[in-house]
Amino acid sequence: MSYSDSQLESLLFELCSANTTNPPGNEDLAVSIIERTLTRKEVSVEIHRVADNRSNLLARIERDPRISYLVFSGHMDVVPAGSNWNTDPFKPEQIDGELYARGSADMKGGLSALIAALVDLSEDREFCGNVALLATCDEEVGCSGIQYFLEHKPFDISAVLIGEPTSLGLATGEKGALWLKLKFKGKSAHGSQPQNGVNAVTRLFSAYNELSQVLGKTEGLTESLNIIRGGSKENTVPDEAECVIDIRFAENTDSSEIIALVDSVLSKYNQSEKIILLNRESFSSSGTLTESVKEVLKKKALKAEELSMTYFTDGAFTASQGIETVILGPGSPSMAHRSNEYVKLEEVHRARRLYVEIARNYFERTR
């Protein structure tokens, strides 16, 4: 391999040093790193501007214009670092073979491995397929990057492999997600005379507790109360309160069913409001790529049973267009969005080799 293991690690270190926290994103910092890496290896690169300082990068190798593409996909943005880190989240540190940095597992480790695999395939003159690397912006918030790509995609796609963290397991689906903002009105009063007011915060908690019990009866559903806002002053009964709830649901449930349950609870609370911040259905995929991944994993003595991820990815959008979509990447899913996030460097190297073998196997099956 002309692109060495040390070069792959250097790429990962550099990407993790680029602060692409979303919001605001600034993924163009990562775009410039990836563009420089691939152009040095004579891989053609296109940059598609999605918003200010926010672009997608598309690189591809085409060996047969008659066939569709396999897309290697990964996002460049990361969630805010938060607190309680033992290291600087944007100054990567290697400790006992583990790279600690925000985005190391989610998912710059997988993205680096996909980039290296594309370079390997570009230098393999016997490889007979068409493979593209898609590095997207804004996966962690609005997914504007993948939506832009699908609206303007310049070639036919037969399958997508996403390098999100799965501990190198095969995921063929993911849970649906529903983010709801719930708002409640009350009536302000002096804090010493609460009987003269209506406390919006306690109304919120009452509604949430009831909603939690109702949703808890749905198999495979989880909900998390992640944001609460309410009150304006220490001695004033709050007349407004709001919260954001993150609901994840399995393939046996439709988002419309959940929304109906939420509406049934809110109907008991006058001057309440529901705002849908995000709505994604679950997906489950199968096909030639899935079989290729299974075969390669079995040959490498790795687990090949199909998983469904609790988190969501850009795959919800590709799968909704009928494109076979699988997820496989280095890093534990439990590392995503956590303090002291890390990825094992050996997993990153192994992922690179798996991606190359999967691509070869896939096009051997499809020819």
DSSP assignment of 289-328: HHHHHHHHHHHTT----EEEESS--THHHHHTTT-EEEE-
Question: Per this entry, what is the length of the chain?
Answer: 367
How confident is the model at residue 1, as a pLDDT?
Answer: 62
The two tokens of residue 120 are 């390997």
How confident is the model at residue 133, as a pLDDT?
Answer: 98
How confident is the model at residue 213, as a pLDDT?
Answer: 98
For residue 146, which amino acid is it?
I
Task: Report d(CA 75, CA 31) in Å as an integer.
Answer: 11
Are the beta carbons of 133 and 72 closer than 8 angstroms? yes
pTM of the model: 0.92
Q: pLDDT, tens digit, for every residue of 58-70?
A: 999 999 999 999 9
Please give the backbone phi and psi of residue 187, each rounded to the nearest 5 degrees, phi first: -140, 125
Task: Report d(CA 138, CA 147) in Å as an integer.
Answer: 10
Give Cβ neighbours of residue 69 (< 8 Å, ≥ 6 apart).
60, 62, 130, 131, 132, 155, 156, 157, 158
Task: Report d(CA 273, CA 177) in Å as an integer.
Answer: 19
Task: Report d(CA 246, CA 281) in Å as an integer.
Answer: 14
Q: E strands, the chain, where? A: 44-51, 54-62, 69-75, 93-95, 98-100, 130-136, 157-162, 170-174, 176-185, 222-230, 240-249, 272-280, 283-284, 306-309, 324-327, 342-344
Low-confidence residues of the chain: pLDDT under 70: 1
Residue 357 has a CB neighbour count (10 Å cut-off) of 18
- 271 burial type by CB count under 10 A (0-12 exposed, 13-18 middle, 19+ buried): middle
The two tokens of residue 6 are 């040390």
How confident is the model at residue 2, as a pLDDT?
Answer: 84
